[in-house]
A and B are shown apart, each in its own frame.
Chain A
Amino acid sequence: MRLTCPLCGPRDRREFYYYGAADYLNRPAGGDPAEWDAYLHLRDNPAGQTRDLWYHETGCAQWLLVTRDTVTHSISDVALVAAGGASGGGIAAKVKPEGSA
């Protein structure tokens, strides 16, 4: 499997860290437990097209929003989260998990 990073070009899957579904971009602003449950745990988990977050760990160290098919593993789009691939601003900082830097 290869992902075509917008900055680095086509790269081997081993250069990337998978975080999870693009739901992680919708961090709740308030303290509503139901919203936090949805953000942290609940997933559409589609068999087919999905959007998820990958980190180009050994490349440009950018967060990427990847559109791909979970059944065929084909990848149709890779966008930079920081370039507005998602809702809200300052997203890259928000989605950075522990231990991935």
Chain B
Amino acid sequence: MQYSGFRVIAEGLFGNRGWKPAWRDPTPKPAYDAIIIGGGGHGLSTAYYLAKNHGLTNIAVLEKGWIGSGNIGRNTTIVRANYFLPGNSEFYSHSLKLWEGLEADLNYNVMHSQRGLINLFHSDGQRDAFARRGNAMVNQGDDAELLDREGVRAHLPYLDFEQTRFPIYGGLLHRRGGTARHDAVAWGYARAADRRGVDLIQNCEVTGIDIENGRVTGVQTTRGAIRAKKVGIVVAGRSSQVAAMAGLRLPIESHILQAFVTEGLKPVIDHVISFGMGHFYISQSDKGGLVFGGDLDFYASYAARGNLPMVEHVMEAGMTLMPMIGRAKLLRSWGGIMDMSPDGSPIIDKTPVDGLYLDCGWNYGGFKAVPASGWTMAHLMATDQPHEVARRFRLNRFATGHLLDEEGTGSQHNLH
């Protein structure tokens, strides 16, 4: 069923009785040409582009819970292309371009809103660093404008510019940055993949990976064994466990990241604001809630909830930056399990097992990467060659020293 404005009106006139489920609920077949483990944003987009770009439609996505139950439904929805290092820069640039055509491509409203992202800086040294980053973004073909303090004030008059600890010197404005509705991205890719014949199999946990003579032959699941010549592991925070089923030990440590939302308010914050020095960022959802977050809880964890010290820290940072939000009531907080890599950059690569591919290490920036990750992972799985814009996301780069350490914080997993 094609979605359109006309359809919404027509359905409205006839009691909305004509809508159909957005995707099928198939029983697993005994064998597929390819299997994707993990029905998060990256798994779904990989399946979609395998079908769309490479004509592979006899494929299945195996999800242990339901579509949208993982980080794809837990993130703070920021979409941007403001990376600095070659390797990251072209990848996120490609992703943002895909975002810009995504709704038409998927025939789904993902509420992509390019409302502009402002990264604040608080010293001369930081200004230089942001000027350099902005130049790298412009050289990549993306947009960046360096704002001085008055330039920031014109956009964000409500910030506390004179706070003594981090007085605001200016900001880097990335106008094409913004947000999107996270669940809608999962649902849009799920529906679009299903329409191309992909089987989305929920409540199906992969419990083993079958390997014969160094080659993958299929997977064991809670819904039986399924054979496939190609298998992609796309399970974000659970990457270490699933890779261990194939005897692999990954450069990943899983950490908890929390986020928060207030009650719905009238529009007060038009942009996405990032206050890096305070570990705080914020935007306002289309429902009116202020959506904000901070840094990791900092210790390895698989609990999808955090601890109070980080809650307190994030609230303090928010109050430092914009005291006006102090009277808003917090509605909910939650956590997601982040696959932290030792350089903060992802891995999209083959594994030492033939036919087994890996897409992980998204740290806390994998939402914006959903389109390009699927695009390049599908290319890798279909052609056995890394895609041009993801060619540096190698699994062995840690051993060879070709790190992509965007923040320059060294090889400690929780510092990225």
Which residues of chain B have C-beta atoms less than 8 A from A44's C-beta? Answer: 240, 244, 249
**Given A70-B300, A71-B303, A72-B303, is A43 in contact with B399 using a C-beta cutoff of 8 Å?**
no
**Given A14-B309, A47-B241, is A42 in contact with B250 using a C-beta cutoff of 8 Å?**
yes
Contact B413 A20 (CB under 8 A): yes
Q: Is B412 an interface residue (CB 8 A)?
A: yes
Q: Is B342 an interface residue (CB 8 A)?
A: yes
**Closest residue on chain B to residue A66 by CB atoms:** B299
- Measured as residues with beta carbon below 8 angstroms from the partner, the interface class of chain A is 20 to 34
**Given A18-B298, A97-B412, is A43 in contact with B303 using a C-beta cutoff of 8 Å?**
no
Which residues of chain B have C-beta atoms less than 8 A from A54's C-beta? Answer: 299
For the complex, count residues of B whose C-beta is within 8 A of A.
26
Tell me which residues from 38 to 56 in chain A have a Cβ below 8 Å from any Cβ of chain B.
38, 40-47, 50, 52, 54
Which residues of chain B have C-beta atoms less than 8 A from A41's C-beta? Answer: 251, 342, 398-399, 411
Q: Is A1 an interface residue (CB 8 A)?
A: yes
Per-position binary interface string of chain B over residues 11-47, scored 1 when its CB falls under 8 Å from any chain A CB and 0 otherwise: 0000000000000000000000000000000000000
- Distance in angstroms from B256 CB to nearest chain A CB is 9
Contact A18 B252 (CB under 8 A): no
Most interface-central of B299, B300, B398, B410 (chain A CB within 10 A): B299
Contact A33 B399 (CB under 8 A): yes
A20 to B250, alpha carbons, bound, how many Å?
Answer: 15
**Given A13-B307, A72-B303, A73-B301, is A45 in contact with B252 using a C-beta cutoff of 8 Å?**
yes
Contact B412 A43 (CB under 8 A): no
Per-position binary interface string of chain B over residues 272-314, scored 1 when its CB falls under 8 Å from any chain A CB and 0 otherwise: 0000000000000000000000000011111100010100000
Contact A70 B301 (CB under 8 A): yes
Most interface-central of A19, A42, A72, A97 (chain B CB within 10 A): A42
Contact B300 A40 (CB under 8 A): no
**Given A37-B399, A41-B342, A42-B249, is A71 in contact with B302 using a C-beta cutoff of 8 Å?**
yes
Which residues of chain A have C-beta atoms less than 8 A from B244's C-beta? Answer: 44
**Closest residue on chain A to residue B401 by CB atoms:** A33
- Distance in angstroms from A20 CB to nearest chain B CB is 6
Which residues of chain A have C-beta atoms less than 8 A from B298's C-beta? Answer: 18
Contact B300 A21 (CB under 8 A): yes
- Distance in angstroms from A2 CB to nearest chain B CB is 10
Q: Is B76 an interface residue (CB 8 A)?
A: no
Which residues of chain A have C-beta atoms less than 8 A from B300's C-beta? Answer: 18, 20-21, 45, 50, 52, 70
Q: Is B253 an interface residue (CB 8 A)?
A: yes
A70 to B302, alpha carbons, bound, how many Å?
Answer: 5
Contact B412 A20 (CB under 8 A): yes
Contact A1 B302 (CB under 8 A): no
- Distance in angstroms from A24 CB to nearest chain B CB is 9
Contact A70 B303 (CB under 8 A): yes
Contact B303 A42 (CB under 8 A): no
A98 to B251, alpha carbons, bound, how many Å?
Answer: 21
A18 to B296, alpha carbons, bound, how many Å?
Answer: 11
Which single member of A14, A34, A40, A70 contacts B411 (CB below 8 Å)?
A40
Q: Is B414 an interface residue (CB 8 A)?
A: yes
Which residues of chain A have C-beta atoms less than 8 A from B410's C-beta? Answer: 98
- Distance in angstroms from A60 CB to nearest chain B CB is 19
Per-position binary interface string of chain B over residues 87-121, scored 1 when its CB falls under 8 Å from any chain A CB and 0 otherwise: 00000000000000000000000000000000000
Which residues of chain A have C-beta atoms less than 8 A from B412's C-beta? Answer: 19-20, 97
Given contacts A40-B411, A45-B241, A52-B299, 6 further A-B contacts (CB under 8 A): A18-B298, A37-B399, A42-B251, A47-B238, A47-B254, A70-B303
* Chain A residues in the interface with B (C-beta under 8 A): 1, 12-14, 18-21, 33-34, 37-38, 40-47, 50, 52, 54, 70-73, 97-98
* Chain B residues in the interface with A (C-beta under 8 A): 238, 240-241, 244, 249-254, 298-303, 307, 309, 342, 398-399, 410-414
Residue contacts A-B, CB under 8 angstroms, 27 given = A12-B309, A13-B307, A18-B299, A18-B414, A20-B412, A34-B399, A37-B251, A37-B399, A40-B398, A41-B342, A41-B398, A41-B399, A43-B240, A43-B413, A45-B240, A45-B241, A45-B252, A45-B254, A47-B241, A47-B302, A52-B300, A70-B254, A70-B301, A70-B302, A70-B303, A97-B412, A98-B410
